[in-house]
Structure 1
């Protein structure tokens, strides 16, 4: 299971009642944060998920509304008692910006490892999450991310009994390990069923719609995507600022075959995000506009 919370949903600047766009993902007890605008620690504190288990931060790009909250979050994680390393991922320029922000958060009880990505890389996030990224189109280096939580095939207990495999070896076989016992060798394939669908999530913000985003979000259970503008008349503005209309975000969801779309990163001029939801639903019906603090869970399909 994956738990997801949209801590904030605003773009450019925080507003009364609307924090800057960022997303927190929980896998088991492990946390990963996507973007970290000014004041991120405030709605996070209200959520009650704690700070100590933050193991990674993934930045889309280095504009202030996505990174300026880093010192405050680092202080909260430090005060929570974390000593394990914290990994930070982002595009070219991430190290320079993080090093600058850390001038006011220099003394921390945990090391920070920075990974600058070009797009196309695959890497592991806390909680056994497999991640990859592609370049977005925003005028500066910017990344969109996908996260997958894979699921092991079901263990076939009847098959294990038929092969007379001692029960103490079942767990090792289930985890993909080959077992040898009394001169006999057993492979995981002997006792595991067919591959099962896992859980997938894509996070796309601050970009024009490009083909790489369709492929990144292919068949995801949830696409979290920017909706900077809701009015079709704002298309020239969206193009000029390298953002998207709600309908364009919905177009990505439709082309990708996503299962559901959650809109976020609304312009300060968008007073009522439900209008963006209505515009997007004309293209992709299973859409809703996120509100600050919205939390939801993604479970395996069979559950």
Structure 2
């Protein structure tokens, strides 16, 4: 099975602590890297993963609060010092350009590569990026500024060829691709060999959703139904639900309720408030509703 890893670089909330770094994750999908959010210190955390900077070409920013984006300019400058020439693409809500472009203009002489800013509609669930292996969709969230999450859907893997049957029917190599695409094979005597006899199914496509800062949105279950791994903020426990509502964040219990309603495979909670010295209270609260819940933590690597 091809690689689909989630590397947690930071899972704390806005107030700095010695326990957690600001929000950032890297997805390693078939050795192609995607970053989600880029708080302060992200590039140092990235170094610790031993992933290659040169394999990162796309960054997705959920919103322009500092703990999710203030590491961007430092990362861009580091890329320049490393001699990067390949473009980097940064996706985010409509105010992303207003935040980032003045910094790029100020440092333009020291940036050795194109930085392309793509502003997305954070109020819609729509396709914003695709390549040969993955599609990325926005997830509309509700926070104090424009904010969206991101849904990564692995593309369907083509069926695998049954080499024994290919050899048995003496099928030439030029026909392999069309058979992978679903074609049957016609023998010289006119007999049709059904595609199901020549192939076996590829791996089931996997999916990962990142729901950044947001108040509780039960209707997201429709967007998230059946995904393999859901990351959802859980800034507070339920005893602070009023505070959560005031600042438009979620509790661990609310994150678990959404995961249960959407029937996801696994829930990972993060974006922990600095008030909690031990996040086990958040984990226990979530697991009471959705047992397949885990805690995010710096250095954690999850295989989807």
* TM-score relative to the length of structure 2: 0.87
The answer on whether the counterparts of 2:139 and 2:211 sit within 8 Å (CA) in structure 1 is no
Name the residue aligned to 1:218: 225
CA displacement 1:214-253 (0-9 Å, x = unmatched)? 12222111111111002x2211111111100001111111
The answer on whether the counterparts of 2:256 and 2:286 sit within 8 Å (CA) in structure 1 is yes
Aligned CA RMSD, in angstroms, stands at 2.8
Please list every run of 5 or more consecutive structure 1 residues that lacks an aligned counterpart in the other structure: 299-303
Name the residue aligned to 1:253: 259
Name the residue aligned to 1:165: 171
The answer on whether the counterparts of 2:160 and 2:199 sit within 8 Å (CA) in structure 1 is yes
Q: Distance in 2 between matches of 1:110 and 1:283?
A: 47
Name the residue aligned to 2:22: 20
CA displacement 1:1-33 (0-9 Å, x = unmatched)? 211111011111332231101111011221110
The answer on whether the counterparts of 1:133 and 1:216 sit within 8 Å (CA) in structure 2 is no
Indicate how the Cα distance of structure 1 residues 161 and 86 shifts in structure 2: closer, same or farther if over 3 A, else same: same
Larger Rg: 2
How far the C-alpha of 1:265 sits from its partner, in A, is 0.6
Indicate how the Cα distance of structure 1 residues 114 and 43 shifts in structure 2: closer, same or farther if over 3 A, else same: same
Q: Distance in 2 between matches of 1:296 and 1:142?
A: 25
Name the residue aligned to 2:207: 200
How far the C-alpha of 1:161 sits from its partner, in A, is 4.6
Q: Does 1:139 align with 2:144?
A: yes
Please list every run of 5 or more consecutive structure 2 residues that lacks an aligned counterpart in the other structure: none
The answer on whether the counterparts of 2:214 and 2:250 sit within 8 Å (CA) in structure 1 is yes
Q: Distance in 2 between matches of 1:227 and 1:209?
A: 10
Name the residue aligned to 1:301: none
The answer on whether the counterparts of 1:202 and 1:216 sit within 8 Å (CA) in structure 2 is no
Q: Distance in 1 between matches of 2:119 and 2:179?
A: 35
3-state SS of paired residue (1:197): coil
Q: Distance in 2 between matches of 1:180 and 1:174?
A: 8
Name the residue aligned to 1:128: 133
Q: Distance in 2 between matches of 1:69 and 1:125?
A: 25
The answer on whether the counterparts of 1:71 and 1:105 sit within 8 Å (CA) in structure 2 is no
3-state SS of paired residue (2:142): coil
The answer on whether the counterparts of 2:125 and 2:138 sit within 8 Å (CA) in structure 1 is yes
3-state SS of paired residue (1:278): helix
The answer on whether the counterparts of 1:228 and 1:245 sit within 8 Å (CA) in structure 2 is yes
Name the residue aligned to 1:117: 120
> How many pairs are equivalent?
295
Q: Distance in 2 between matches of 1:130 and 1:56?
A: 13
